[in-house]
Amino acid sequence: MRERFTRFMMGRYGTDEFSKFLLGAAVVLMVLNLFLRFGLLNTLVLVLLIYVYFRMFSRNVQKRYQENMKYLQIKGRITSFFQKEKRMAGDRKVNHIYKCPNCKQKIRVPRGKGKICITCPKCRTEFTKKS
Ligand SMILES: [Zn+2]
């Protein structure tokens, strides 16, 4: 049986990161729909599962590979976006962003230092702010 499956899978694409993601999404939607009981969601889950199997058994390895690459690219972009947001949110707690009144250059100033004189690094304009 195992041998037959191996032979069947020969030359076929199999699973990749994208399939795992789709499968995960299908499971999440399925669990979610236990509470929502939304008919259309069931169809969506079914379509997702069919698509996962279609990719798994596909002989067009190159096309599937490209799909996976595209997925990884988008995923990477989303993750780096959130990492940047998270870093900036943490930064806002310790620093305050001021805009130079002259050239609008953004300047990061540590918080909690009272009234301070800021010199714009770009145009050398000096202005006073409370940090
Ligand atoms: Zn300036």
* Contact predicate 111/129, CB 8 Å: no
Domain boundaries, the chain: 2-93, 95-130
Could you read off the pLDDT tens digit of each residue along the chain, which spans 131 residues? 788 888 888 889 999 999 999 999 999 999 999 998 888 999 999 999 999 999 999 999 999 999 999 999 999 999 999 999 999 888 888 898 899 999 999 999 888 888 999 999 999 999 998 87
In the reported structure, the alpha carbon of residue 98 is separated from the centroid of ligand 1 by a whole-number distance in angstroms of: 10
In the reported structure, the alpha carbon of residue 119 is separated from the centroid of ligand 1 by a whole-number distance in angstroms of: 8
Q: What is the pLDDT at residue 122?
A: 94
Burial of 103 (0-12, 13-18, 19+ CB in 10 A): exposed
Three-class DSSP labels, the chain: CHHHHHHHHCCCCCCCHHHHHHHHHHHHHHHHHHHHCCHHHHHHHHHHHHHHHHHHCCCCHHHHHHHHHHHHHHHHHHHHHHHHHHHHHHHHHHEEEEECCCCCCEEEEECCCCEEEEECCCCCCEEEEEC
* Contact predicate 17/68, CB 8 Å: yes
In the reported structure, the alpha carbon of residue 92 is separated from the centroid of ligand 1 by a whole-number distance in angstroms of: 21
Measured from the Cβ of residue 60, the count of other Cβ atoms closer than 10 Å reads 12
In the reported structure, the alpha carbon of residue 116 is separated from the centroid of ligand 1 by a whole-number distance in angstroms of: 16
Q: What is the pLDDT at residue 49?
A: 96
In the reported structure, the alpha carbon of residue 120 is separated from the centroid of ligand 1 by a whole-number distance in angstroms of: 5
In the reported structure, the alpha carbon of residue 20 is separated from the centroid of ligand 1 by a whole-number distance in angstroms of: 50
In the reported structure, the alpha carbon of residue 83 is separated from the centroid of ligand 1 by a whole-number distance in angstroms of: 29
